[in-house]
A and B are shown apart, each in its own frame.
Chain A
Amino acid sequence: EAQVTQNPRYLITVTGKKLTVTCSQNMNHEYMSWYRQDPGLGLRQIYYSMNVEVTDKGDVPEGYKVSRKEKRNFPLILESPSPNQTSLYFCASSLSSSYNEQFFGPGTRLTVL
């Protein structure tokens, strides 16, 4: 089944404790992206990647890192999480660019205490 998977789905952590949210797609998509969704603010892009070893900042990259060592994986790293990073995070992928339909993962609900 073609899909985007994220892990974990739910995470409660404390300020400053490094964490990684994994994202993997099995559709051989080149473009991958991370978003956060907050009430009243909608979906905002954090980082995106056009292909392996190519990553770019979205609208809200501060406090996040990403890597794209393999085509299928695009982990989101929070080196020192803070409470304002409490949010619902979605990973997405598309065939070749943001001009194509994006397929979203199921989301990761992160709470930073």
Chain B
Amino acid sequence: RKEVEQDPGPFNVPEGATVAFNCTYSNSASQSFFWYRQDCRKEPKLLMSVYSSGNEDGRFTAQLNRASQYISLLIRDSKLSDSATYLCVVNMGDDKIIFGKGTRLHILP
């Protein structure tokens, strides 16, 4: 099993729809989890940290399922500006941090 795995997409979603991505990780001892957003040829930027209790920020909800070793990102009422690549990031302990390869999202007008 790969350390951090994401569906590369692309996900082509009409504006206003709800879309969800999952990210699986291999190390059950992983300590912290993040979702980053990366626009084409730009630097990644933090979207959300993922807490055990879940995390919601406006239209975005992130959840952690430790038993099944995955994190999820839900985007409600998607906007054209949500088009980007979403990177799952897992800290596996001992400062080993692994980025997923990203899921590409295209919001269609």
Contact = CB atoms under 8 A, between A and B. Distances in A.
Interface of A: 33, 35, 40-45, 48, 50, 56, 88, 90, 97-99, 101-102, 104-107
Contacts of A40: 101
B44 A42 contact: no
A50 B97 CA distance: 13
A90 B31 contact: no
A90 B43 contact: yes
A48 B95 contact: yes
A99 B64 CA distance: 16
Interface of A is mostly: strand
Contact of B43 (A42, A45, A104): A104
B20 interface: no
Please provide the 7 A-B residue pairs with the shortest distance between their CB atoms, ordered closest to farther. Answer: A42-B101, A104-B43, A43-B99, A98-B97, A101-B46, A99-B32, A98-B95
B87 A43 contact: yes
Contacts of A45: 97
Interface residues of B, number: 19
A98 B91 contact: yes
B34 A101 contact: yes
B45 interface: yes
Given A99-B31, A101-B46, A101-B49, A50 B102 contact: no
9 contacts: A43-B87, A45-B97, A56-B95, A90-B44, A98-B95, A99-B32, A102-B44, A106-B42, A107-B42
Contacts of B91: 98-99
